[in-house]
Amino acid sequence: MAFEYIKALHIIFVVTWFAGLFYIVRLFIYQTEAYDKPEAEQKILSPQLNLMASRLWYIITWPSAILTLIFGFWVLYYRWGYMQLGFMHAKLGFVFVLYIYHLLCHRIFLQLQRGETKWTSTQLRMWNELATILLFAIVFLIVLKSIVSVAWGIGGLFALSILMMLGIKWYKKVREKNNN
């Protein structure tokens, strides 16, 4: 019975972690775009967006990432036999990439908190889609438990990624047209 509670907590923290990752990059976009606003607007927007990002990052996203890791290892302890299967190695590989993504988001977070913008809002929109791709890959792997099935899924993800990039470019053109 304890295993089900541990697994449930792992899933809950995965969900809150991804919610934080998705929203933090959206805040990065808003923070970056705030620097393009007139100075009077910047003085209002920047402190508020920095506060929102800081609260999200340190109160929700980081704790969720840490608790996901703790409960994930705990689940794996109960299902150690999965370590003999290739799908689990692939899943853990994607999870490792997700933690690298998280750390890179942390670097962007710190830069924006200092008022440094090194990414454009379009680059950040594309960056945000990487978390989506990782989510799909991890969920497909854990549910299907087959690398071959996941290969098809990842092929579909690449197609989805191309569609998302085209959508981002289209949205940028629509936004620019509406701003003129």
106 marked as part of a ligand binding site:
no
Task: Write out the chain's pLDDT in tens, 180 residues.
Answer: 798 999 999 999 999 999 999 999 999 999 999 998 999 999 999 999 999 999 999 999 999 999 999 999 999 998 887 778 777 888 899 999 999 999 999 999 999 999 999 999 989 998 998 998 899 888 888 888 776 666 776 777 778 778 877 888 888 888 888 877
Please state, in angstroms and rounded to a whole number, the distance separating the CA atoms of residues 2 and 131. Answer: 30
CA atoms within 13 A on the CB side of 162: 5
89 marked as part of a ligand binding site:
no
What total of structural domains would you count in the chain? Answer: 1
The number of helices, as runs of H, and strands, as runs of E, in the chain is 6, 0
pTM, rounded to two decimals: 0.84
CA angle 126, 160, 34 (to 5 degrees): 20
99 near 65, Cβ under 8 Å? yes
End-to-end CA distance of the chain: 60
Domain extent, residue 14, equals 2-179
pLDDT tens-digit readout, 95-148: 999 999 999 999 999 999 999 999 999 899 989 989 988 998 888 888 887 766
**φ and ψ at 25, to 5 degrees?**
-70, -35
**Helix axes of 2-34 and 39-55: crossing angle, nearest 10 degrees:** 170
User: How many angstroms separate the most distant Cα atoms in the chain?
Assistant: 60
